[in-house]
Structure 1
Amino acid sequence: MVAALVVFLGGTRTYRYSVKSEENNPFVRVGRVFISAVRNWNKATSAIAAEEEAHGTLPSESSKQFKFLNKALLATDGSKEHGKVCSIKEVEEAKTVLRLVPIWFTSLVYAVVFAQSSTFFVKQGATMDRSVTADFKISSASLQSFASLASILFIPIYDRLLVPFARGLTRKPAGITMLQRIGIGMLLSAISIVIAALVEMQRLKTAREYGLVDDPNATVPTSAWWLVPSYVLFGVSDVFTLVGFQEFFYDQVPNELRSVGLALYLSIFGVGSYLSSFLISAIENTTGGNGGDSWFSDNLNRAHLDYFYWLLAALSAIQLALYLYFTKSYVYKSKSRL
């Protein structure tokens, strides 16, 4: 880390960075459009049409969406002073961000499912048989490496085999659109959590058969290697979804809003992690009342992680349905590489 810091500081002298002091923060510009549109909510349609005509033709077909934001072109106090009226460029920026919100919203469930691979999967694996040889057991946390290995191995397969094949079918440079790529990753994620639920059901059944329900420290004679398919599918889904998210939210905004696009991409996993914690807390309080064992009991043999996984699978199915609905009406930015 010290060596990396030295290299980083040494490179700052050669890094080109310019500050355009005359431009407002992109978050401020977008927020100002929404505030102006709300303030002008009761303005007559004729006044808005006249203002649109004065600004000229809107730049793209996608501008026909969210036309209520065109009210930001009107001055709230009747003044035309610069800085009090939003420009057509600022209105289009706000529309671009708003157009991404449905995709962002439906992606949160993916982040909730994604969070389980490093939490409950590890706890689940710790109770299972992790023997590699008679004298060696792998740690349950080490099973996560299969997700990383799957990602590393699948990337060249995706780039060298799947993309050329899809390109031949669709005649598109990337083979499939960014939204299709994200959707495939969501589907694989849903399948992985279904497999995890089936494995947990078998683990609980085995614990009951061997009389280990009240022994939380016992090793249930179910191989932890049954968790590997879920980890592998998570790794493959990352190749589709994580890369797709980053490319989509970066590509579908104007150059001036690249930071906003990346912020939206990263916030999916930040908000998703909070939602995962909220969901777990709510289920814990609901199912663990009256001194009973909750779905997340410390004794996993009396818990019901399988119920939780099935709940996530159901949410993933709803997510996919909403995602397909929203993507049908999504209009790609005109400069999109796809």
Structure 2
Amino acid sequence: MWWHTATMAGISLAFGGLLSNLEVYLIEEFNIKSISAAKIFNMVNGLVSILPIGAAILADSFLGCYSVIWFSSLISSLGMLLITLTAAFSKLRPPPCQSTGSNNLCTDPTRLQLGVLYLSLALAVLGMSGNRFTLAPMGAYQFDKPKHQGIFFNWYIFVIYTCLIISTTAIVYVQNNVSWAWGFGISTAANALGLLLFVLGTRFYRQLKPQGSPFARLARVVIAAIRNRGVKLSKNPEDYCQDIETKTPTLPTKFFRVLNRAAIKSTQGDVANHEITGSVRKSWKFCAVTEVEDFKNLIKLLPLWTSALLVSVPLAIQMSMGILQALTMDRHLGHNFQIPAASVAVFLSISTCITVCFTDRVLMPVWSKFAPRPMTPLQRIGIGHLVDVLSMAALALVEVRRLKIARSHNLQDQVNAVVPMSIFWLVPSLALAGMGEAFHFPGHIAFYYQEFPMYLKSTSTAVVSLSIGIAFYMGNALIDAIRRSTDWLPDNINKGRLDNVFWVITILGGVNFCYFLVCASLYKYKTVENVVDDDSVNKA
């Protein structure tokens, strides 16, 4: 499986090499205003998190994981090559800004330059989206035993976070201190090498053929319920269509009773006295009770899924605005070395890795020893919610201090002025954010994997990615709303009140935490016995 691992490493390095320093590249090389660059950064991250759901549908329904991976890798390689060309050739970028005292005279990029930039980002994002959550299920397909699958997922996460740490340090350093062309070139080469190794390992892979879209089953429930809207419901289990595997006829639950009509046998006789077989199952006139109940379970998950949106908004804001903060802070480590602004994200990644290891090796064993029941996925998510709120409060306090120092040195009117305050003041809030992610991100994956219908297991992780992607766009919408109604977010953040933005997000996070507690207290697992600890999740 080293072929597959090498592919993951190459694609992850390319992904980190592009996104880690993208905001700085837009500001310094394309003369894009800081807040606009932050919004583009959020938009790109949002797309990378939303589009995997489409790749998962294509892989499950039509093309299979293998075809989606190699084609996506090819597309992302072309995108990375194109963005490398924008860094290598000055004609594809606007001229550098000219400093005139307290102001900078900057030339906006032309339509052609923006067109090439956006095309390269679109290709890179489209390709990386097809790989991110498709490599994992294909890797798991290579193993028969759940134990071996669990080991693979552990290595999968380890490789991703290791490559993220490398990209946010080494590659970002090359981009900022050697050249942008070399930095993006390394990422392009890593992406191409990953694609090459993946293709060379083709004969070693066990490939799973497409099984048809699982979402068609969900759509059939809605269509069948509408078509049978005039049929009266029955209390007799024999009047409902049962799955062929069902030995004892069952009644659908009373929750969302309107959908129960999708499973009732047709009065027209086309399914009367017939069990659902493989050929009849494709009918859009009726569904099995199990399919109706699967659809209902997804409806029950919606409130908890919506609570996950505001969990990711602080992370999205912290990633984009944190880079803007870092650009205006003292980033020196010693006399000769300066930490790249984009590298501050490495503290979040390191914190996440450490917390995951601590949770797996220390917290969970101690919890299992002294607690009457294992820690549930919802409990892990709740801890992550709370820690995320604390991280935003810590970031707001740091920004209060940074602005105070900027005003005491009369730096608020100077463009891109560096405040004499160490970048390491950001570490506590980033460490807290990493701890929160180490709790709620695996918690969400475990929860959805456990509660989703069996035929949707392979796309449960894409649902988590979808919530993260939407959160980036919610972050952009929040930034727009604040800029329209207040003066807190000028392009020169030394003149603004970024601390107020962080306090608003902290309050929203607190309200969302309360909303989550209500949803979690009302939610009932499909079966209590299915609530498992982390070891069981890793073996699933």
Does residue 218 of structure 1 match 2:435?
Answer: no
Report if the CA contact (8 A) 1:253-1:333 is conserved: no
SS in structure 2 of the partner of residue 296 of structure 1: coil
> Is 1:114 paired with 2:315?
yes
Match of 1:159 in 2: 360
- Which amino acid counterpart does residue 183 of structure 1 have in structure 2? G
Match of 1:235 in 2: 434
Alignment of 1:91-170 (within 5 A): 91-170=292-371
Q: 1:267 to 1:76 in 2, by over 3 A?
A: farther
Cα shift at 1:247: 1.6
Q: Distance in 1 between matches of 2:364 and 2:396?
A: 32
Moved more, 305-314 or 11-20: 11-20
User: For the Cα contact (< 8 Å) 1:147–1:235, is it kept in 2?
Assistant: yes
* Distance of 1:268 and 1:229 partners within structure 2: 26
Q: Does 1:204 pair with 2:204?
A: no
1:311 paired with 2:311, answer no
Query: C-alpha displacement at 1:10, in angstroms?
Result: 3.3
Alpha-carbon offset, residue 194 of structure 1: 0.6
Aligned match of 2:530? 336
Question: CA separation in 1, counterparts of 2:400 and 2:229?
Answer: 54
Task: State the secondary structure of the residue aligned to 1:117.
Answer: helix
Give, as a single letter, the amino acid of the residue that structure 2 aligns with 1:4.
G
Q: 1:271 aligns with which of 442, 446, 470?
A: 470
Query: Match for residue 33 of structure 1?
Result: 221
Q: Alignment partner of 2:447: what SS? A: helix
Unaligned runs of 5+ in 1: 288-293
Aligned residue pair count: 323
Q: Indicate the SS of the match to 1:107.
A: helix
- Give the Å deviation of 1:230: 0.8
The 3 A distance-change label for structure 1 pair 67 and 203 is: same
- Matching residue's letter, 1:278: A
CA distance in 2, matches of 1:35, 1:229: 51
- Normalised by the size of structure 1, how large is the TM-score? 0.87
Contact 1:40/1:71 (8 A) holds in 2: yes
Residue among 461, 476, 489 paired with 1:296: 489
1:326 aligns with 2:523: no
CA–CA distance in 2 between the matches of 1:143 and 1:58? 55
More helix by share: 2
Q: What's the TM-score once normalised by structure 2's chain length?
A: 0.56
In the superposition, relative to structure 1, how do residues 101 and 326 fare at CA in structure 2: closer, same or farther (>3 Å)? same
Q: How does 1:247-262 map to 2 (within 5 A)?
A: 247-262=446-461
Decide whether the 8 Å contact of 1:181 with 1:244 is kept in 2.
yes
1:316/1:241 CA distance change after superposition, 3 Å: same
**Equivalent residues of 1:131, 1:137 under 8 A apart:** yes
Identity %: 35
1:121 deviates by 0.5
User: Aligned-pair distance for 1:97?
Assistant: 1.5
Counterpart in 2 of 1:291?
none
Aligned to 2:372: 171
Evaluate the alpha carbon distance shift between residue 168 and residue 52 of structure 1 in structure 2; reply closer, same or farther with a 3 A threshold.
farther
Shift in Å at residue 259 of structure 1?
3.2
Give the secondary structure class of the aligned counterpart of 2:489.
coil
CA contact (8 A) 1:113 1:193 kept: yes
User: Amino acid of the residue matched to residue 259 of structure 1?
Assistant: S
| CA deviation map 1:125-154 (0-9, x unaligned) | 211222322343322221111111112222
What's the RMSD between the two structures over aligned residues? 2.4
Deviations 1:200-259 (A, max 9, x none): 111112222222221132221222211100111111112111111112112211221113
Tell me by how many angstroms 1:269 deviates.
0.9
Q: Which runs of 5+ in 2 are unaligned?
A: 1-190, 243-248, 272-279, 533-540
**How far has the Cα of 1:114 moved from its partner?**
1.1
**Is the 8 Å Cα contact of residues 249 and 262 (structure 1) preserved in structure 2?**
yes
The Cα shift of 1:43 comes to 4.8
Structure 1: distance between partners of 2:205 and 2:431: 39
Q: Distance in 1 between matches of 2:226 and 2:406?
A: 59
Alpha-carbon distance in structure 1 between the residues aligned to 2:498 and 2:265: 56
User: 2:480 aligns to what?
Assistant: 281
Q: CA deviation at 1:52?
A: 7.0
